Amino acid sequence: MRVVPARTPAADVLAMKPDGVFLSNGPGDPEPLDFAIQSAREVCAKVPVLGICLGHQLIGLAFGAKTVKLKFGHRGANHPVIDRRNGVVEVTSQNHGFMVDAATLPDGEFELTHFSGNDGTLEGMVHRSLPIFSCQYHPESAPGPHDSRVWFRAFSEAVGKRRGKKVQPVAVGGLA
């Protein structure tokens, strides 16, 4: 695994021949981050990508969506997020003041999978034809609830598929 600075051009990242790219969280308004939006656009076209929080917003912007400042940011633990595919409610940690406006995403390009149980905002999406996954909250498996491990599993499987092999789920903290 390699960690690169946010301003690393996508061409440099792709030259490392990654099996996948993780777009991490970060502070503030994502719309002025033209360099990061462009990089997200480029890596999404080439390798599996998982974005969380700011990374989720960058993926939305890379595909033409808009972001909106929330009247009340989502901060702290115990935020309910509903996976609309199966009705499961995940208990999440969150720390963001912006959201991807679901109505501005390209029609049919993403499956909108997760929504806030508090205010209905978009919390997760999966691209319908590319191995791109993103969630607005923090699914970091530990400390706290392990409800959101599904994001890491889906990303790991996409990376394994790209490498031509099945990937075994990684146990974090001794839990499967």
Confidence of residue 1 (pLDDT cuts 50, 70, 90): confident
**Is the pLDDT assigned to residue 162 strictly greater than 50?**
yes
Q: Is 24 exposed, middle or buried (0-12, 13-18, 19+ CB in 10 A)?
A: middle
pLDDT recorded at residue 89 = 92
Evaluate whether residue 131 is within a structural domain.
yes
Q: Average pLDDT over the chain, rounded to whole?
A: 88
CATH number at residue 130: 3.40.50.880
172: CB partners within 8 A, 6+ apart: 141, 142, 146, 149
Evaluate whether residue 171 is within a structural domain.
no
**Tokens at 56, concatenated:** 């989720």
Predicted confidence (pLDDT) per residue in 129-161, tens digit: 999 999 999 886 555 566 677 787 888 888 888
- Alpha-carbon separation of residue 134 from 22, 91, 127, 165, 173 (angstroms): 10, 17, 9, 23, 23
**Tokens at 124, concatenated:** 């997760």
Evaluate whether residue 144 is within a structural domain.
yes
Number of independent structural domains in the chain: 1
What amino acid positions are annotated as catalytic residues? Answer: 53, 138, 140
Evaluate whether residue 5 is within a structural domain.
no
Range of the domain at 156: 10-163
Q: Are 56 and 92 in contact (CB under 8 A)?
A: no
Predicted confidence (pLDDT) per residue in 79-126, tens digit: 999 999 999 999 888 999 999 999 999 999 999 999 999 999 999 999
Evaluate whether residue 170 is within a structural domain.
no
**Is the pLDDT assigned to residue 172 strictly greater than 50?**
no
Predicted confidence (pLDDT) per residue in 24-79, tens digit: 988 889 999 999 999 999 999 999 999 999 999 999 999 999 999 999 999 988 89
Task: Characterize the bridge pairing of strands 49-52 and 132-135.
Answer: parallel
Q: What percent of the chain has pLDDT over 90?
A: 68
**Is the pLDDT assigned to residue 168 strictly greater than 90?**
no
* Nearest alpha-carbon partner for 124 in 113, 132, 116: 113
**Is the pLDDT assigned to residue 170 strictly greater than 50?**
no
Predicted confidence (pLDDT) per residue in 14-28, tens digit: 999 999 999 998 888
pLDDT recorded at residue 160 = 85
Within 10 angstroms of residue 163's Cβ, the number of other Cβ atoms is 12
Evaluate whether residue 110 is within a structural domain.
yes
pTM, two decimals, is 0.85
